[in-house]
């Protein structure tokens, strides 16, 4: 397995950088296509969420694959390598599997334990499959990651390990403005996150919930579902002046709330809180400088959540991930020696058939019943002789030392297979250097780097 995972997330990059690399679904597909154009990448899948962009790729060589993916990431986002390199992380082979499983379980999310990433990963896989970007490595790997994520949510209490971003925003509102039950809430947008925000605010007894959206029909449906009212986005300025708490999450590229509009709306009223759940941000950061106005973006909410993200629930899921990674890698190693086992059995079958044919010519007068008994006896002897080595090689492979045994079998029996041992690498620490090796990524250099097995 030559799996590489390269990306950046809220753990490694500030919000300003994440905004610049944020990818819409079409752009994420373009990134996967760009990666596959590299000569060292055979499969690719892109996971792009509000707080991460990651590329998972099956590569033929480590350095070459890393360079291909790095170049694709720069081309797709328009951000140079010099700007990205300090924020990128790289995982290889078993570390990449462990990272993907952790992501699927919500362990690597800003709100630990959230399940939305499962749907995002499922959609990423579906998109990659439709485009033919995944195959024998990434298809089963991501499907297994989805199963691990489901296990984490069904068999543990990870869901309660960290509050959702919406809940974190409401808790921030309580600290700044008082009980939610007394607040006028304005939700900008009508997508899934906005719907969650409106539903949660209504459930906690907000004095009113208003939905402002570019598409009136969607706003009306959401408003009806939460017992609120809908307004067109053209009335945003008026509604901002009425709202105590503004929760915004749209797919807009630019700022939906600019500093000038916010200043006019804040004039002559009490304190106001903007909870910006969008990436790129809906609310101009300059709004935070207005008197009496507070802005909580994803970065601020992530800091609020960090204190609640420890405990037994997280440890339980980490143990689950560790076991699942071990089982998955064991299965991969067993699968890797399967060609050797098949070749050994095929060689034995060839020898048996040749010797039985020779025996038939030497003893042409042997009756059919005797001939069948001889054939069965020979097959049983061969089967018993092969049983121990074939079972043993699979057992050893599952413990990570079967490849040398398989190589010995290939050498001893002169087996012709296409099996190639994969030398797995440790977690890559120096992304900057590795991305700069043998690459045409703009801004890259080529310092001396210790050779990595290919």
Task: Point out the residues that are catalytic.
Answer: 50
How many whole angstroms separate alpha carbon 240 and alpha carbon 244?
Answer: 8
DSSP string across 275-302: EE--SS-SB-GGGGGSTTEEEE-HHHHH
How many whole angstroms separate alpha carbon 287 and alpha carbon 193?
Answer: 22
Helices (H) and strands (E) in the chain, counts: 17, 10
Q: Are 195 and 206 in contact (CB under 8 A)?
A: no
| Three-state secondary-structure class, residue 123 | helix
- Per DSSP bridges, beta strands 272-276 and 293-296 are parallel
Q: Are 130 and 45 in contact (CB under 8 A)?
A: no
Distances (CA, A) of 121 to 48, 143, 147, 396: 9, 9, 11, 33
Q: Which residue has the tokens 């993916």?
A: 69
Contacts of 267 (CB under 8 A, 6+ apart): none
Token pair listed for 263: 């200043």
């Amino acid at each position: 397995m030559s799996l590489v995972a390269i990306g950046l997330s809220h753990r490694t990059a500030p919000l300003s950088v994440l905004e610049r690399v944020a990818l819409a679904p079409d752009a994420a597909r373009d990134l996967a296509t760009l990666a596959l154009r590299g000569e060292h990448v055979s499969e690719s899948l892109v996971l792009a969420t509000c707080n991460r962009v990651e590329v998972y790729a099956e590569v033929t060589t480590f350095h070459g694959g890393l360079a291909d993916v790095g170049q694709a990431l720069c081309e797709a986002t328009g951000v140079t390598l010099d700007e990205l390199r300090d924020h990128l992380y790289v995982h290889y082979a078993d570390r990449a599997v462990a990272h993907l499983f952790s992501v699927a379980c919500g362990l690597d999310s800003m709100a630990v334990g959230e399940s939305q990433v499962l749907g995002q990963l499922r959609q990423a896989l579906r998109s990659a499959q439709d485009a033919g970007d995944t195959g024998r490595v990434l298809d089963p790997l991501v499907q297994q990651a989805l199963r691990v994520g489901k296990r984490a949510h069904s068999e543990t209490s990870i869901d309660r390990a960290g509050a959702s971003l919406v809940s974190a925003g409401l808790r921030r509102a309580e600290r700044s403005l008082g009980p939610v039950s007394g607040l006028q809430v304005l939700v900008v947008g009508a997508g899934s996150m906005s719907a969650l925000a409106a539903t949660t605010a209504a459930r906690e007894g907000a004095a009113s919930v208003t939905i402002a959206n570019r598409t009136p029909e969607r706003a009306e449906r959401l408003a009806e579902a939460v017992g609120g009212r809908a307004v067109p986005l053209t009335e945003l300025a008026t509604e901002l002046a009425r709202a105590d708490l503004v929760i915004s999450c749209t797919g807009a590229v630019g700022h939906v709330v600019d500093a000038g509009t916010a200043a006019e709306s804040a004039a002559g009223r009490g304190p106001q809180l903007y909870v910006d759940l969008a990436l790129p941000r809906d609310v101009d950061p300059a709004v935070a400088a207005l008197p009496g106005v507070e802005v909580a973006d994803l970065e601020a909410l992530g800091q609020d959540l960090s204190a609640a993200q420890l405990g037994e629930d997280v440890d339980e899921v980490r143990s689950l991930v560790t076991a699942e990674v071990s089982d998955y890698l064991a299965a991969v190693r067993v699968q890797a020696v399967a060609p050797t086992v098949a070749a050994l059995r095929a060689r034995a079958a060839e020898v048996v058939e040749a010797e039985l044919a020779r025996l038939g010519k030497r003893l042409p007068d042997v009756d059919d019943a005797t001939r069948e008994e001889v054939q069965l006896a020979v097959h049983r002897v061969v089967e018993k002789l092969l049983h121990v080595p074939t079972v043993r090689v699979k057992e050893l492979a599952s413990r990570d030392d079967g490849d040398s045994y398989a190589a010995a079998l290939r050498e001893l029996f002169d087996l012709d297979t296409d099996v190639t041992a994969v030398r797995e690498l440790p977690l890559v620490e120096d992304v900057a250097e590795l991305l700069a090796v043998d690459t045409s990524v703009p801004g890259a250099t080529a310092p001396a780097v210790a050779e990595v097995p290919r």
